[in-house]
Structure 1
Amino acid sequence: MTPYPSQHDETEHHEVAVVGGGQAGLSTSWCLTRDGVDHVVLEARTLTHEWTDSRWDSFTLVTPNWQCRLPGYAYDGPDPDGFMTREEVVAWLAGYPATFGPPVREHTAVTRLTERDGGGFVLTTQGPDGPATMTADHVVIATGGYHLPIVPAWAPALDPAVTQLQSADYRHPDQLPAGAVLVVGSGQSGAQIAEDLHLAGRRVHLAVGDAPRVARRYRGRDVMTWLCDMGLYDTPVASYPGGLAAREKTNHYVTGRDGGRDIDLRAFAADGMRLYGLLEGGEDSQVRFRPTLTAALDAADETYRSINRDIDRFVEREGIDAPPPSSYEPVWAPAEDPATLDLVAEGVTSIVWAIGYRADYRWVDVGVFAGNGRPTHTRGVTSVPGLFFLGLPWLHTWGSGRFLGVAEDAEHVVSCVTGSRRAPLGAPARVG
């Protein structure tokens, strides 16, 4: 633990320090501001940087606009059932701080967090004026769970003439050198980037992972609207089959582009995209794949059908007047699971890695982490008094990592803060 500041220490003190100024951090600040709690929001870059810096040009939300709700602030535009573009999300989110005036410090990174003798925490920061230290009775870490992009250890062994970049760095097809592109990963980012390249006329090779798929619309409504009405976004993670293991699940791929539609990898393949199983390894211009393509496509389709069947049962049980059910039939099937790809022979000049992220909490020097480096918590509340997490996928429900669920999570965390408030330790009296 870090010793309590000395009598002559002029360390800045706040009752609550919120680390991260995205939607989770701002939602926390809104609740704290409403409750009159002294706090500061520390943002390493800018409030909207995750949306401006880590999304491609054609990006759209995959959740309907009506699900964009933060505490005291909700989408009120003309298209509640549509899907905001990147620029629209940035503009919407940028309007939030003006509604309550959060005490934000941008370009101020927290480089270390430790416990303080006597209670509370010490935060070491790096800001525009250099390093500094502050103390807080409570800390809410709202930096999300996607920090370090995952890249195979063998990636540097590939032909250096092939451009490699992360999905967060992809912007548009013309950014890449002319030629074919290998996209690795078929989660939401990988599937949508592959589609973006495919629609631009680029030859795309896609290494398919185990992400499931979901229909965009079914029986007259957006599927995510059905799922919300069915209560799936509000069900606690512990109540899902497998319990906390649900936090390891990959989100379903779908798109909000051009008003929203399914992403059907089989249809892409029928239109010329080359599909493969999980990327297993590679060297120079040769890459190898596991024979998992057929099983991955079948499993994704079964999830698609299963969700539709759940909607059918809900419609019948509730007596809802809806269009009749329909059934998806595959439009393409692989003749075999390709085992290798010669990048040079196929004219592949770029690889886009879209296989996920790892959490990076090395700056948090507090013992609240599991062996996988992720924080252990119950609905954002850790075993260390005063330390909380917010904005994580499946923090409490499926909606936790979305605009839809962050308000409820922020309310809970802030209620735990205010419920445990004591006379703040504050900084010691200063001696002149």
Structure 2
Amino acid sequence: MTEPTTHRTEVVVVGGGQAGLATSWHLVRDGVDHVVLEAHTLGHEWADTRWDNFTLVTPNWHCRLPGYEYDGPDPDGFMTRDEVVAWLAGYAPTFGPPVREHTRVTSLTERAEGGFRVEATGPDGPEVWEAGSVVVATGGYHVPIVPSWAPALDPSITQLHSADYRNAAQLPEGGVLVVGSGQSGAQIAEDLHLEGRTVHLALGDAPRVARFHRGRDCMTWLAEMGLYDTGVAQYPGGLAAREKTNHYVTGRDGGRDIDLRAFAAEGMRLYGMLEGGAGTELTFLPTLTAALDGADDVYRSICRDIDRYIDAQGIEAPPAAPYTAVWEPDTDPTSLDLAAAGISTVVWAIGYRPDYRWVGAGVFDGTGRPTHSRGVTALPGLYFLGLPWLHTWGSGRFLGIAADAEHVTGVITGRKGGARTEPAADLARRRSPGEIASDVALAG
């Protein structure tokens, strides 16, 4: 057996996505010796796990990393998957991070003499890295979730997770059942619907949000209101916010609402939460009406919050256009025969679970998620970045990565002050009248 090559460095960063690269930018700036270990290639998740017609759901101006931001012609637009891949690919060359691609970390353990031992497999064989600090920047979406009873479905039914969905043409002919109405599920259902496929959608409890309200993108309003800068502990329910599903909306074709009621009026079949199944028979909970009403309540609540902000600040904005439901279910269906409905494919869009089994440290809760305060664990020298709601709603997104990375690297180096990240609220306010007028036209 080949003996591993041993290396020593101050910091090991595990993961070369936006979180890992943002961490490296700060460490390079501060002259800290470190390495970024990436199992595949930099930013591969964007190219490998998004479907062909994927677009960002946040405006392009949200795309900001330390020392690097979107500077294209459409700050209020929504980059496609390929545009995001190209934009992110331009980041590393601006500061030269010490990256080792195709190097998969297999083990992280504490060293008796202090610090950590990181074992990995690289292009040339096994490697060992000894470091005083480790930043785990692999995100929180590792293992696609599929129900334990999924193998009991008829083998003639094609099953795939949303991570493996690319386009309608890859699926066999026939109807498609999409399970899950979060961002991925709702957008994949939209993609299939626009391609003319017969779509069935099983809803969870995901809320929705208007794309535009009173002349501006809702996410721009929310950023200006400070929502993306508010720490998770300050939200109602506190840390429970980390378990909430993101609102569904789309950036496709310049951005618009995803209105499942409108899709239903056009022929999409909607159901409540999927309960179970075997063979070709599925059962659902009678939650469809409540799911639609709940999503609409959140939609209206966000619009009212924006209205109050507009009034309080004395902002001139176009009048609100209240949402009116265009479709109501006659009943909440509780069963479906896949064969009788002509459904050939099930797309599971019910999320992921974390997998940190390679981390040999007692910093996890009963669900396998790391316990931390803004990425800093109780074990000195071990940190996490890139997690949803790590600190704010913007954490895990391009908009919040810079501040989180700066905080964690500041703890590592003991640095006080330094380059400060501009709050999202200030970024949102730095918009010209022309840009706001552009929003009005888009919303109109």
TM-score, normalising length from structure 2?
A: 0.92
Partner of residue 438, structure 2: none
Structure 1 position 296 matched with structure 2 position 291: yes
User: CA–CA distance in 2 between the matches of 1:13 and 1:366?
Assistant: 20
User: Does residue 140 of structure 2 align to residue 145 of structure 1?
Assistant: yes
TM-aligned CA distance change 1:10 to 1:183, over 3 Å: closer
Superposed, 1:5-404 pairs within 5 Å as 11-404=6-399
Residue aligned with 1:401, SS: coil
Q: Which residue identity lines up with residue 245 of structure 1 in the other structure?
A: A
The CA RMSD over aligned residues, in Å, is: 1.1
Distance between the aligned counterparts of 1:30 and 1:90, measured in 2?
A: 19
SS at match of 1:362: coil
TM-aligned CA deviation for residue 119 of structure 1: 1.1
Q: Answer whether contact 2:5 2:128 (CA < 8 A) is retained.
A: no
Query: Contact conserved, 2:47 with 2:81, CA < 8 A, in 1?
Result: yes
Residue type of the alignment partner of 2:54: F
SS at match of 2:50: coil
- Cα distance, 1:158 vs structure 2: 0.2
Q: How far apart, in 2, do the equivalents of 1:258 and 1:324 lie?
A: 24
- Contact 2:28/2:97 (<8 A) preserved: yes
Deviation at 1:351, TM superposition (A): 0.5
Letter in 2 for 1:19: V
SS of structure 1 residue aligned to 2:323? coil
| 1:133 positional shift | 1.2
1:128-184 residue CA offsets vs partner (Å, 9 max, x unmatched): 112221111000000000001111000000000000001010000000000000000
In the aligned structure 2, how far is the partner of 1:180 from the partner of 1:15?
Answer: 54
- The AA in structure 2 aligned to 1:400 is S
Q: CA deviation at 1:10?
A: 7.0
Q: Provide the C-alpha distance between the structure 1 equivalents of 2:332 and 2:61, rounded to a whole number of angstroms.
A: 41
**Mapped partners of 1:311, 1:401: distance in 2:** 24
CA distance in 1, matches of 2:227, 2:329: 33
String of CA shifts for 1:91-141, please: whole Å, max 9, x gaps: 000000000000000110110000011210000101111222111100000
What's the TM-score, normalizing by structure 1? Answer: 0.95
Give the C-alpha shift of residue 420 in structure 1: 8.4
Matched residue of 1:29: which SS?
A: helix
Moved more, 321-330 or 67-76: 321-330
One-letter code of the match for 2:112? D
Return the alpha-carbon distance in structure 1 between the equivalents of residues 291 and 262 of structure 2: 15
Question: Counterpart amino acid of 2:294?
Answer: A
Distance in 2 between residues matched to 1:189 and 1:256, nearest whole Å: 12
Is this contact kept in 1: 2:5–2:127, CA < 8 A?
no
Q: What is the one-letter code of the residue matched to 1:411?
A: E
Deviation at 1:367, TM superposition (A): 0.5
SS at match of 2:221: helix
Structure 2, unpaired ranges of 5+: 417-444
Deviations 1:370-390 (A, max 9, x none): 001000000000000000000
Once the 2 structures are TM-superposed, how far is the Cα of residue 48 of structure 1 from its aligned partner? Answer: 1.9
Deviations along 1:246-270, one digit per CA (max 9) or x if unpaired, are: 0001000000000000000000000
How far does the alpha carbon of each residue in 1:237-294 deviate from its partner, in whole angstroms, 9 at most, with x for none?
A: 0000000000001000000000000000000000000000000000000011000110
Give structure 1 stretches of 5+ with no counterpart.
Answer: 1-8, 422-432
Query: Which residue identity does 1:259 align to in structure 2?
Result: G
Task: Report deviation, 1:326.
Answer: 2.2
In structure 2, distance between residues paired with 1:247 and 1:153: 24
* Letter of the structure 2 residue corresponding to residue 360 of structure 1: D
1:284 maps to a residue whose letter is G
> What SS class does the counterpart of residue 138 from structure 1 fall into?
strand
For residue 221 of structure 1, report the CA deviation from its aligned partner.
0.2
CA contact (8 A) 2:277 2:283 kept: yes
- Which of structure 1's runs of 4+ aligned residues deviate more than 3 A? none
Query: Which AA in structure 1 matches 2:69?
Result: A
Q: Which residue of 2 aligns with 1:430?
A: none
Which amino acid in structure 2 is aligned with residue 307 of structure 1? I
What SS does structure 2 have at the residue aligned with 1:398? coil
Task: Report Cα offsets for 1:51-73 as digits up to 9, x if no partner.
Answer: 00000000000000001000000
Aligned length: 413
* Distance of 1:315 and 1:178 partners within structure 2: 49
Secondary structure, aligned partner of 1:192: helix
